[in-house]
Structure 1
Amino acid sequence: MTSFLPRALRGAAFAAALACTLPGAHAQTQAPAAAALPSIASFFSAAPISGAKLSPDARFLATRSGAPGRRDALVVVDLQANTAKVVASYNNADIGDFQWISNERLIFDTREKGVGQGNVRHAPGLYAVNRDGEKFVELADRTGTNSSIGRRTVRKVLPWHTFMLDQEGAQDSEYVYVSSINFDTAQEVRSVDLLRLNTLTGATQTVPRPVHNVRGWTLDHKGEPRLAWSSERDTVTLHYREPSNGEWRVLASYPAYGDGSKALQPVGFTPDGKLFVLARSGGRDTTSLHLFDIATGKVNPEPVLVTTGYDFDGTLVSNRDKVLGTRFRTDALSNEWFDPGMKAIQQAVDKLLPATVNLISVPAQAATPWVLVHAYSDIHPGSYSLYNTQTGMLNKIADTRPAINPAQMGRQQFVRYKARDGLEIPALLTLPPGGKKTGLPMVVLVHGGPYLRGSSWSWDAQAQFLASRGYAVLEPEFRGSTGFGINHFKAGFKQWGLAMQNDIADGVHWATGKGIVDAKRVCIAGASYGGYATLMGLVNDPGLYKCGINWVGVTDINLMYDSGWSFTSDLPDEWKSYGMPEMIGDRLKDAAQLKATSPIEQASRITQPVLLAYGGVDRRVPINHGTKFRDAVMKTNKDVEWVEYPEEGHGFRLIKNNVDFWGRVERFLDKNIGPGAVKQ
């Protein structure tokens, strides 16, 4: 069996990688084999610490911190004094996203992690507070929420549809850029404004839009608005704002849907105003990182960074002085550095933590000794540490999931196998702990989308939960998945239930042919598109899969076009008009194919046991996908288990519902392909 280490761990001894974990976790790896199985909640509960971020001067660290029965709070740690302070918390909400906007001040919003989507009653809101908890200001309305820390400023606040950008900005004053969404009469997004917001006074200035239908904005290296993109029907237009006079001009236009071969995808700016973009050059099938000449409107044909075998999928890592490197995903998520000093820092950290991929984040100010390290592996969910570049000391902050014992997790490999038509299919294979590598029961876990990238090498709650219960887990990147080149992506167009389905089945044949898997003990599972593929797998290959688990899955492509009067879908009209006919299937031209690949239409052919789970307020795949299929399949198949979580949407947010659902999965698998099935 071919085994592949993640790119970031190649060069380290594999034996060392297996033997070592993070400092302080080594004792856990020596746990006896007879230890109790980890609880379901330990996989699917919220992490007690997340989102750690250094202040621009690296003097302070902000984190989101929580505990069972307690709301998530915003905590700031003084790294010199080694003290921590809760600077924002709520009695009826949790801290959501947060950012440093200067050495003294943070901006944040809230979330309601304790309620399902159907019971969410408040917008995220928007707030700012100093690192010491002073000068708390409510900036955007959330309706009826009061902070338990700080005094609310009495004044008119921005409307609820004001949101943080996912860009750090200048981080040098009390000002920050935020977005404000404008809706049409049907409550669809019409345009997005960009506001320059004073987080002390709440005063705003609106950045002039180049056209009326702007949908997004990009800041430059100095934190100023430099790009805007607009959408009209099936065309995206990219607009550039001249630094000298603030005037806008069109930079490029390209089709919004299709294979993306003509898209100009900005990645970020250099301090001198150069633009990094994704492009294909030199006959490559995959995208690479290139520089784009703003003046001439042309891409430099010589790539800055090539990720062989993968589309470049990442971001720039910069401080105020320069672009230091990138963070991108190939088989795993890792850093690649342009700066020699950062290369040396990476090597030093990797020497201290040889068994993990170590992602390094840098503060905005260059003249600081601290960098933040997020370390992870396939068996370790991750930890945060601070590395002092002057002393070489690594100080661990916390594990993200301390309840997870790496010794009880399964090792993961990135593999590739051939589909029946010769196309190479990448996949992740996770084997259960314990050492057995042959004759295993297996769950084929199909990702959603489908036109996106699935998982990469890392600790994954779903895969590791299944592995902890004794199952091998195969996660194929079937044709149509992104990240592996344009040919792999385009090969999935109009192949729902057809060649895409064959790719998944061929992964099972590969695993059984290698002897890894017992061919009589395979189940297929997935959510959204993965749920659709689960049902079509049972239709197309009844002898291959002994059972199927579908949660929030599509059951008919025509229902995606029109889910009916009573069931509202959030799929945009433009996607239905321009994207779906080209990429999935035209309702009229491809009517026969859509019927032949509809799980509802083919329900009578499914005789295997099926577990179905849906959210009552799902707007991506409305619940009538589930109820219509359930009613159709139960006419001929009595081995169907159904569960509805009324307050949930497209995926399950509540811990109690995740514990319930995965408990059902555990019992269902045990009965059909697990130890329970063997005993029958």
Structure 2
Amino acid sequence: MKLSAVCALLLGVVLSAVSAAKELPVEAFASAPAIDKLKLSPDGSKLSMIQTLDTEKEQLVLVKLFDLQTGEQKYLVKADSRDLRIYSVIWANNKQLLMRAAYASHRYGTPVTETRLMLIDVETGKNRSVVNGQLQGKLVRTPQFQSNIVALMPEDEHNILLALDGFNHGTGTSVVKVSLNGGLHEMVAHARKDLYDWVADRQHRPRIALFRDDTRYEVQEKMLDTKEFRTLWQFELFSEQEVWPIGFDADPNILYVSAYHEGKLAIFKTDLSAAQPTLQLVKADENYDVPADIRYSWQDNKVIAIGEEYVDADYQAFQKAVDKALPDADNHIVSMSNDKNRYIIETSSATSPGSYLLGERKEKSMTFLLDKYSQLDPELMVAKQKIQYQARDGLNIEGYLTTPLGYQQGAVPTIIFPHGGPISFDDGGFDYWTQFFANRGYAVLQMNFRGSHGYGFDFKQMGLQGWGLQMQDDVEDGTRWLINKGIADPKRICIVGASYGGYAALMGAVKTPDLYQCAVSFAGVTDVEALVKSHRRYNNYEVVKKQVGDDFDLLEQRSPVNHADKIQLPVLLVHGTKDRSVPVKQSVAMYKALKSENKDVQYIELEDGDHYLSTNSHRRQTFKAMDRFLKQHLNTQSQQALQQ
């Protein structure tokens, strides 16, 4: 492939020059991508994208359209990023976009997140909710979640299948065929008690219904041309009997699922035409869970990728050609025109936060469009090193170590950075938090402690109801391992985390006050007992109890807010007022507890802030506070010599 370049000014993006100084400005890291989520229209003539734009008066998130033929660009949607999070834009057809958005709200006095699906006319810029008019009139209550698209129908591009509840009191989720042109809707699958989601086959018929009763799950097949259902699998959540539908092949009887194989999640397929469907192994890994993902090409009418790899020979060859043109990078085809000629590549690496390119298969060319983070020069970033260490009970823990640019050897100030979730994981890809810390001269250790996702059934089980116990020990053991390796300066270590990671940071300060010199918690859990009890108002209460625990005496003991007297080091707390994952009162209570004990604590409240630092001003405020706090307590002003 021939690689060419065009000026990103075509997209209205000014590429800022990288500062000559080795320490980049906070804004270089603490800003959302200027433009992200690029998608081609079906005919390949236009690009849609999500843009963030800050002015003195406004903090905006926008849906932008760029015409590849004429060069014309325009904004279709403008919203305040503190009020609305736009997380997806999809082309329904060449003239209409579907926009998924989320916002904080209340229902009956309970704080919740609502989602909506908006329809945008790309010619006029007019937009409206997909759920309106005749459809709204059929609802007995307004659904909280309105963005669950069960199927787009490329051969019927003016209709979609949408999963909705609210048609009857106390029943589950139905599937509605919704007209995008104002026509009448059609009910294609009716709700049943405890039914919460659907999977359609490639002929766009709702075929798989998922039910949940507390922690008991059931996967049923809706039999074709009848109103009958049959049960395929039943299981308890977090059990080794879990079977999760992924999607269908072209054959409406072939269903792909994710299930355990020899203790690791694998991908299977099953034939629903059988009286007793059995699982046939398709893809497994003896060391790690296989991502529950398939990719289907409606143009080729077949599954082309399983897990994260292409299985179709043509697409394998195409990916190989892309990787040859863009070596030493992770290259993902994120959008393609209907004729498969034009495509968008998102390319990134351990030191590059990502760029977008436009490809033309007939011309065998790729054109550079823009960098996601224009101020982050890859030459000033640092690749993560995969590491492993043994926990005190002999369990092998994997993780990633990032050292400052130019580091050779010797002890340096260090950030211990456990991930959130806690059923999540860290990988070797680029993340702006880690690069920010490394750019300031810190080594950064991230560990996939027990309970992290991706390491199989037994490893995940070790984390259930384990907050503050061995999960916390794994973090401590990683810290001591890094000290023993001579990398972490034992007198200059700070533990930093967000969400569950914030909890781990505070529990580290409680359990091992002499190991760290400071702690930072962004949106961290401080009262585990209160967190679990707060879910009594939600329908996932039993799930939360099964994951976190329901012995409230024990949860009280494992809550940092009840051990403020044991914390001997400076603490920085940051939390958004519209956080719907961890209530802001969790950090408020921790701040009050620490102040009552006359501890060294700072608290920053982000007005209208969410759990994800979605707004640039909140990112900057948080990162600047961390920058000051870490430099003060790790005495790193003199460490910049490492980067000169």
Do the two structures share a fold, i.e. TM-score over 0.5? Answer: yes
Which amino acid letter does the alignment assign opposite residue 630 of structure 1? Y
Map of 2:264 onto structure 1: 286
1:356 aligns with 2:346: no
1:138 aligns with 2:128: yes
What's the offset of the Cα at 1:378?
Answer: 1.9
CA distance in 2, matches of 1:467, 1:184: 54
1:238 aligns with 2:212: no
- 1:88-127 → structure 2 map (5 Å cutoff): 88-90=76-78, 96-110=87-101, 125-127=116-118
- 1:622-633 → structure 2 map (5 Å cutoff): 622-633=583-594
- 1:174-573 → structure 2 map (5 Å cutoff): 174-182=158-166, 191-209=172-190, 211-245=192-226, 247-255=228-236, 257=237, 259-273=238-252, 274-281=254-261, 284-296=262-274, 302-320=280-298, 321-326=300-305, 328=307, 335-361=308-334, 363=336, 365=338, 367-450=339-422, 452-562=423-533, 569=534, 573=538
Among 14, 34, 37, the residue aligned to 1:48: 34
Moved more, 336-345 or 517-526: 517-526
| Structure 2 counterpart SS, 1:602 | helix
Q: Percent identity of the aligned residues?
A: 27
**CA shift in 2, pair 1:125/1:84, >3 Å:** farther
**CA shift in 2, pair 1:75/1:672, >3 Å:** closer
What's the offset of the Cα at 1:171?
Answer: 2.3
CA distance in 2, matches of 1:67, 1:276: 41
Map of 1:13 onto structure 2: none
What's the offset of the Cα at 1:426?
Answer: 1.8
Map of 2:11 onto structure 1: none
**CA shift in 2, pair 1:532/1:436, >3 Å:** same
CA distance in 2, matches of 1:178, 1:197: 7
What's the offset of the Cα at 1:469?
Answer: 1.0
**CA shift in 2, pair 1:111/1:620, >3 Å:** closer
Moved more, 204-213 or 268-277: 204-213
Kept after mapping to 1: 8 A contact 2:500/2:525: yes
**CA shift in 2, pair 1:121/1:554, >3 Å:** closer
Which amino acid letter does the alignment assign opposite residue 269 of structure 1? F
Which amino acid letter does the alignment assign opposite residue 165 of structure 1? N
What's the offset of the Cα at 1:243?
Answer: 3.6
What's the offset of the Cα at 1:182?
Answer: 3.0
| Structure 1 counterpart SS, 2:282 | coil
Which amino acid letter does the alignment assign opposite residue 310 of structure 1? Y
Summarize deviations over 1:336-387 as a string: whole Å, max 9, x none.
Answer: 111111111111111111121001245474x432332111112211112123
Q: Cα RMSD over matched residues?
A: 3.5
Kept after mapping to 2: 8 A contact 1:350/1:358: yes
CA distance in 2, matches of 1:471, 1:295: 58
Kept after mapping to 2: 8 A contact 1:571/1:620: no
Which amino acid letter does the alignment assign opposite residue 311 of structure 1? D
| Structure 2 counterpart SS, 1:207 | strand
What's the offset of the Cα at 1:139?
Answer: 3.5
Which amino acid letter does the alignment assign opposite residue 276 of structure 1? Y
Moved more, 535-544 or 613-622: 613-622
| Structure 2 counterpart SS, 1:35 | coil
| Structure 1 counterpart SS, 2:152 | coil
**CA shift in 2, pair 1:239/1:55, >3 Å:** farther
Normalising by structure 1, what TM-score? 0.81
Kept after mapping to 2: 8 A contact 1:228/1:239: yes
Kept after mapping to 1: 8 A contact 2:38/2:48: yes
What's the offset of the Cα at 1:42?
Answer: 2.5
Q: Which runs of 5+ in 2 are unaligned?
A: 9-16
Kept after mapping to 2: 8 A contact 1:181/1:191: yes
Summarize deviations over 1:375-411 as a string: whole Å, max 9, x none.
Answer: 1112211112123333321122222222222122222
**CA shift in 2, pair 1:505/1:305, >3 Å:** same
What's the offset of the Cα at 1:512?
Answer: 2.1
Map of 2:568 onto structure 1: 607
CA distance in 2, matches of 1:370, 1:639: 57
Kept after mapping to 2: 8 A contact 1:286/1:309: yes
**CA shift in 2, pair 1:87/1:251, >3 Å:** farther
Moved over 6 A (4+): 22-25, 91-94, 120-123, 155-158
| Structure 1 counterpart SS, 2:316 | helix
Kept after mapping to 1: 8 A contact 2:196/2:211: yes
Kept after mapping to 1: 8 A contact 2:331/2:345: yes
| Structure 1 counterpart SS, 2:93 | coil
CA distance in 2, matches of 1:392, 1:571: 57
Moved more, 229-238 or 470-479: 229-238
**CA shift in 2, pair 1:177/1:168, >3 Å:** closer
Q: How many residue pairs end up in the alignment?
A: 612
**CA shift in 2, pair 1:48/1:223, >3 Å:** farther
Kept after mapping to 2: 8 A contact 1:53/1:63: yes
Moved more, 246-255 or 606-615: 246-255
Q: Which runs of 5+ in 1 are unaligned?
A: 1-21, 26-30, 143-151, 329-334, 563-568
CA distance in 2, matches of 1:512, 1:314: 37
1:671 aligns with 2:632: yes
What's the offset of the Cα at 1:527?
Answer: 1.9
| Structure 1 counterpart SS, 2:562 | coil
**CA shift in 2, pair 1:309/1:183, >3 Å:** farther
| Structure 2 counterpart SS, 1:441 | strand
Higher strand share: 2
**CA shift in 2, pair 1:369/1:463, >3 Å:** same
Which amino acid letter does the alignment assign opposite residue 672 of structure 1? H
**CA shift in 2, pair 1:91/1:669, >3 Å:** closer
Among 74, 78, 81, the residue aligned to 2:63: 74
**CA shift in 2, pair 1:245/1:609, >3 Å:** same
Kept after mapping to 2: 8 A contact 1:407/1:433: no
What's the offset of the Cα at 1:43?
Answer: 1.9
**CA shift in 2, pair 1:486/1:457, >3 Å:** same
**CA shift in 2, pair 1:653/1:101, >3 Å:** closer
CA distance in 2, matches of 1:396, 1:475: 33
Moved more, 409-418 or 157-166: 157-166
What's the offset of the Cα at 1:514?
Answer: 2.2
Map of 1:15 onto structure 2: none
Kept after mapping to 1: 8 A contact 2:39/2:47: yes
Map of 1:587 onto structure 2: 551
CA distance in 2, matches of 1:33, 1:435: 20
| Structure 2 counterpart SS, 1:416 | strand
| Structure 2 counterpart SS, 1:466 | helix
